[in-house]
Chains A and B, each alone.
Chain A
Amino acid sequence: MATGEAISPASTTPAALGWGKTLAWAVPMMLLTALLMAGGPNLPKDAHRLISLIAAWLFANYLFLRMVRTGKTDRYRASYFIAIAFGFCLTFVPNLLEMRGNMALTDEDMLLGKTPFCHVVIPMTLIPAALTRTIIFPGSILGGFAGIAEMFALWIGFSLILGRGWCSWGCFFGGLDEFFSRLAKRPVIRHIARRWTYLPYAVLALVVVSAAWALDPTYCMWLCPFKTVTEYPQVDSITRAVQAVIFLSLFAGLVIILPVLTKRRTQCGLFCPFGAFQSATSWLNAVTVRVNHGACKDCGKCERGCPQFALHSGALNRGRPDLSCSKCGKCVDACPTGAIHFQVRGSGADANAGVARMLFIFPSFLFMAVFGAGMIQGGLYRLLLLVTTGSLLK
């Protein structure tokens, strides 16, 4: 947009900003990400790690600059988000191979609390934690890689900042789903019955109740597809073999095949219990997505494009997406009239959508950039190792 001014959502799409305003947002982002990514004044001494850190910083800030300058959110967010997911896999798996020689969790890892804590377990741990003050996960409360208390503190923080937006601005698993959903040019399966969008809530209810009854993280044992790219208990019995078949099938189906065929995030939108759980935290957030029904011309672009199945005629009539909205910004970017926009809570439909957008994407991108920095750096480091030594492992 030529003027660089954010315009009322009733008539136009979110405005790109002029260079002045762009730099006013981008320079603080550069400084803050430099401070937080480096983790202090001492930079890594290892050349590979230093190069990875600088590359990750440049990548993050280039994307943010483009996001602000063009007024488009989704494509730049998705680039970093996908990079986090691949960075995570490239960091996590080689680390395991170096430590243990394989991806399988050993008895010792579980008995001695060396299992990294994953955010997906959180809903299952709450009832037992409340009633017994114990965490039903074979990890460590403090310390180690992904300690339980650290992950809980992070969860509280990102719930306040992002709510369900975690699914599009943080989750290192969601980036895989996002990647595969963007591979094909056109969807092969265009219609998925809306009833399936309620499956994650059923999965959530079942795993929460079963985990509380069994005092065991049942989702992790039986259903988590992402054990395929992280770690899993050793397959030494029929039960473990069946569990392996289940998680491999779910990964292949929900994370790879269906996202390619539907161009939607099927694991995140149709299965993940943590996403369903995290929907409840969205009311804590300052910025939401709203629909100006008067400006909407029913073109359907938002509904067809929404990766989380959050938009449909009912949601548009209501003026807001379903709870599964992860604030990825795709609908806001796609809407030709600016009917869909970010809105600060309490501000009303006539408020400045451009300001609301910036107030959302600045902290969200900062969170994503810093949270994902270690994973992207780690991934780049491993790729550099591969290029210079021929192996991903040290």
Chain B
Amino acid sequence: MSTVRKILGYSWAVLTIPLVLVLFFGLNSWAKLLAQSTGVRVSPWMTGGEIVRTLSHGDYETRIHRPVFDGLLGPRGRGFVQVDWVAVPPATILPERIGEQIDYDHDGVADFAIELDSKANHAALKPLRPEVLGCERVMLLKEGRVLRVDLKRKK
């Protein structure tokens, strides 16, 4: 038994040498394999969730993401919906002021109204439904602005 353990130990020690080569040569392949086999993606709390609707306004677009309530064991009671305003080429910047009513759940009823000042990077939110709680600060993209509106989950 001790001989078997010794052989296994030394074999493993020797195998770490080609393991280094396999690791570095195949790093991209291992990474792809890991990503595909686990199916992981970046958390929507980081990315804002998938874009579910895009509204075209000529020289800019309004991109509405899905509401994010993802929790560790189930949906959370509070979350947010992210709205992006992005300039569409040939325009490279947004209009200075944008006023819009957003229906994030696509039920035909506006949920909140936004007055965005893209120069001052400030947004004024007017909730039109009780689930809409408030908004965070305006985040900057090179060619647009992003706003996360805090929501309470509808039961």
Contacts and interface: CB of A to CB of B under 8 A. Distances in A.
Contacts of B19: 157, 160-161, 363
> Chain A: interface secondary structure?
helix
A142 interface: yes
Interface string B6-27: 1111101111110111011101
A132 B72 contact: yes
A62 to B, nearest CB: 20
Interface string A361-394: 0110011001100000000000000000000000
A65 interface: no
Interface string A142-154: 1000011110111
Contacts of B142: 108
Contacts of B41: 133-135, 141
B73 A360 contact: no
Interface string B115-155: 00000000000000000000001011110001000000000
Contact of A153 (B5, B30, B40): B30
A142 B20 contact: no
Contact of A133 (B21, B38, B45, B73): B38
> Chain B: interface secondary structure?
helix
A50 to B, nearest CB: 21
Interface in B37-95: 38-48, 70-73
B87 to A, nearest CB: 13
A107 B20 contact: no
Nearest to A133: B40
A246 interface: no
Contact of B141 (A107, A134, A148): A107
A154 B27 contact: yes
B21 A111 contact: no
A36 B146 contact: no
B16 A161 contact: yes
A359 interface: yes
Given A131-B73, A135-B42, A148-B42, A370 B24 contact: yes
Contacts of A236: 137
B36 to A, nearest CB: 9
A118 interface: no
Interface in A106-121: 106-108, 110-113
B44 to A, nearest CB: 7
A156 B31 CA distance: 11
Contact of B35 (A141, A216, A346, A362): A141
B72 A111 contact: no
- A-B pairs with the 3 shortest C-beta distances? A346-B5, A346-B9, A107-B139
19 contacts: A36-B25, A107-B139, A108-B142, A112-B141, A131-B73, A132-B72, A135-B40, A137-B42, A140-B42, A142-B35, A147-B31, A160-B19, A215-B45, A286-B15, A345-B13, A347-B6, A348-B6, A351-B6, A363-B19
Interface of B: 2, 5-10, 12-17, 19-21, 23-25, 27-28, 30-32, 34-35, 38-48, 70-73, 137, 139-142, 146
Interface of A: 32, 36, 106-108, 110-113, 127-129, 131-142, 147-150, 152-154, 156-158, 160-161, 212-213, 215-216, 236, 286-287, 344-348, 351, 356, 359-360, 362-363, 366-367, 370-371
